[in-house]
Amino acid sequence: MLNVAGISKSYDDHELFSGVSFAVGISDRIAVIGRNGSGKTTLFEIITGNIVPDCGSVSVRRGTAIGYLRQDAQPSADQALLEYVSSSSDVVTDLAHKMQLVQEELAEEKDHATVAGLLRELGQLQELYEARGGYDSEHQAEVVLSGLGFAESDLGRSLSEFSGGWRTRIELARLLFVNPDILLLDEPTNYLDLETQRWFEGYLKRYHGAVLLTSHDRAFLNNVVSRVIAIEDDGVVFFRGNYDSYMVAREKDIEARQATARRQEREINRQMRFIERFRAKNTKASQVQSRIKQLQKIERVTVPRSTKRIHFNFAEPPRSGRVVIELKHVSKSYGQHAVYRNLNLALERGDRAALVGLNGAGKTTLLRILAGVLPFERGQRTIGHNVTMAYFAQHYIESLNPHNTIIEELRNIAPDETEQRLRGLLGAFLFSGDEVTKRISVLSGGEKTRVAIARMLTRPANFLLLDEPTNHLDIPSREILTDALDAYKGTICFITHDRMLIREVANKIIEVRSGQARVFLGGYDDYLWQSAHPRDGASMVETRSGQRQLVLASGRPSSPLNKRQRKALEGELRNEHHRALSPVNRRIEEVEHEVEATAVRIREVEALIADPSHYEDSQNVVAVNREYAILRDRMATLTAEWDGLTAEAERLKLEYSRALESLTG
């Protein structure tokens, strides 16, 4: 559908990429990855024709529609939400208008020949309208909006009532509804909470078309893409597989290049020793010149930079008491909207708690209450013995002095630290050599975030509270942040939409929902399993030794599962699965029966339309035509429902299978 041939692009003296060629097929799922500023967005802008490449070409097969979601896209109209999304297809809207005009003419026309011509025209329009999803447009728009986290009460709200993040979601919903042949998505998960991300992943997997996307969310890339286009410093790399498999292959390639480079360097040194030794001897002049020419022809092997796990001994924070912080009966409201009522929560030394929940559920409010920067109406907040706090949010980045250099920012916090140690800490955060003397004012958002986190860990508190620390960070920077938090010895409570960060750091998940904070022991995958399979307050967690244990509602772990316990839990899981799946299967059968009956009636009506005597009564023609449209509409609705039901049945079966594996693993 899309061919990119030999495109190159530079700005001033900086080359983004050169000679890039690739093709996109109808079922491709392609990630375009690279550090911030590497040219990912520029590549998308070239594909859509908004930027002209320095050389090369982009060709699109005739009739192929491309949909493009920019970062921070915002709707410009001011309509009701459902109307804005469901009317976003110009083709569908135009066809609906034409159908209405033909139907109005049919209602007034008496001439049989003219009526017959109008009916043929109407039939053609209806076929096109159905093919474009027109009969089911509002339902499809509602499905997409619901999946992206919009409530039914939002559908009639004006676009101007939504905040920036939600308005970006609206543009994503509009794009998904239009259903183009190729989706270009530039950081589509930036404003999606974890639950919505999971729905979006499933939607993209089932999408009937090609998808090219950029994202710094490693879990999202692993779950969606099957090809990688990596814009590296030394060129553009193409790879078949997801992000993790690309990284494994990249590390192997780097190791192979390093070995080749070492061998090449040894050979160059050997030749150079010969040249230096015999340069002044006339009898060896021809050999020396020959070897000099050979060295000039050698194409040096370049080794791309690899982000390794950091190895740095961060300063250990002072030890706190066992209970780090406790909230008792806390209530917090904004005007008439009660966010929390009678909230109770405690964090203990060593907890690495991730706050999860839908956007707007109150995660940031809870973190700010814990940090002591947001007052509340009722309740008590108690800080534990010897607890020192550091709260990372956007204001923390803004507190950096723009006139300071990077190393001066750290030196102000730790004046007694040696230059070598400060440079070592900055090196762990990807600032090396002369980069540490850059002014804060010239840094990008991601670079400022790295400086801010490095400054926070120079003299670490024993309780860190982090609100979206991955904002503006590319994948290498997120990996560095993960390593830093993993090495940190204190207590952490954090909010992030990066599931890989949660998976690798968190040992406790706090789900914020409906004004309460529900605590799940274990990591993120345990939380997903527990929330999908509640068992009277008991849950499965993994111990430090890797064994799985049943944890009771009190938080007390039971002994490892014996054979009888496992059999009992397997039976319970089987019963839960049957209870969840049975109504879905029943509804599938009902829908299939209705589809069959509707199909029979459609054939009967089509037989009537094909009968010439049918056109003798114009009023009957209009009535039959209306019934035919209603039947086709109903068939589209039933088909969409059947698709959703079968997908739900498959999801339940997969969850059951994973739960059994988790239980027996």
pLDDT tens-digit readout, 595-610: 888 888 888 887 787 7
**CATH number, span 563-664:** 1.10.287
The per-residue pLDDT for 533 is 59
Q: Give per-residue pLDDT as tens, 231-286.
A: 987 788 898 999 888 888 888 877 777 777 778 778 777 777 777 777 667 766 77
Q: Give per-residue pLDDT as tens, 141-177.
A: 888 888 888 888 888 899 888 887 888 899 999 888 8
User: In sequence order, what are the residues at sequence separation of 6 or more whose Cβ sits closer than 8 angstroms to the Cβ of residue 427?
Assistant: 312
406: confidence class by pLDDT, cuts 50, 70, 90: very high
Q: What are phi and psi of 336, to 5 degrees?
A: -85, -10
Q: Give per-residue pLDDT as tens, 74-123.
A: 777 778 888 888 776 655 555 666 677 777 777 777 677 777 777 777 77
Asked if pLDDT for residue 556 goes beyond 50, the answer is no
For residues 116-138, give the mean pLDDT: 67
pTM of the model as a whole: 0.63
Top-level CATH class of 323-521? alpha beta
Higher pLDDT, 620 or 308: 620
Q: Give per-residue pLDDT as tens, 447-501.
A: 888 898 888 888 888 999 999 888 878 888 888 888 888 888 899 999 998 888 8
Asked if pLDDT for residue 304 goes beyond 60, the answer is no
Q: Give per-residue pLDDT as tens, 521-553.
A: 888 877 877 776 554 444 444 444 444 444 434
According to DSSP, residue 370 is labeled H
According to DSSP, residue 538 is labeled B
How many Å apart are CA 595 and CA 636, to the nearest integer? 10
Buried b (16+ CB within 10 A) or exposed e, 152-168: eebbeeebeebeeebbb
582: confidence class by pLDDT, cuts 50, 70, 90: confident
Buried b (16+ CB within 10 A) or exposed e, 231-267: beeeebbebeebbeebbeebeeeeeebeeeeeeeeee
User: In sequence order, what are the residues at sequence separation of 6 or more whose Cβ sits closer than 8 angstroms to the Cβ of residue 342?
Assistant: 329, 330, 331, 379
User: In sequence order, what are the residues at sequence separation of 6 or more whose Cβ sits closer than 8 angstroms to the Cβ of residue 23?
Assistant: 2, 3, 4
How many Å apart are CA 503 and CA 285, to the nearest integer? 64
How many Å apart are CA 14 and CA 29, to the nearest integer? 29
Q: In the chain, where are the structural domains located?
A: 323-521, 563-664
Higher pLDDT, 84 or 568: 84
The per-residue pLDDT for 665 is 54
370: confidence class by pLDDT, cuts 50, 70, 90: very high
Q: What does pLDDT average to over the chain?
A: 81
The per-residue pLDDT for 543 is 42
